[in-house]
Amino acid sequence: MPSKIALVDFEKCDPEQCDQGICLAAKACKRKLLIQEAPGEIPMVNPALCRACADCVRACPRQAIKIVQM
């Protein structure tokens, strides 16, 4: 298991503020480990596979994702 992962702050995350409700951070995840099931829904991270690359952190306009130590 990785020692760091991306974590979504549900208080800050508001996909409705992203273009057409599509999470910009999920779109930025090259490995498709940050998954948004439908427009407007908060994305979820697959912690078993996340490598803490921080692409999602840089892409989130609301600063709702951070890399945390496990």
Q: Is pLDDT of 1 > 90?
A: no
Q: How many domains is the chain built from?
A: 1
User: pLDDT tens digits, residue range 2-54?
Assistant: 589 999 999 999 999 999 999 999 999 999 999 999 999 999 999 889 999 99
7 φ/ψ angles, rounded to the nearest 5 degrees: -130, 130
Domain that holds residue 25: 4-69
Residue 60 has a pLDDT of 97
Kindly report the CATH number assigned to the domain that includes residue 40.
3.30.70.20
pLDDT at 41: 96
Element (H, E) at 28: helix 24-28
Where residue 70 falls among pLDDT bands split at 50, 70, 90?
confident
pLDDT at 63: 97
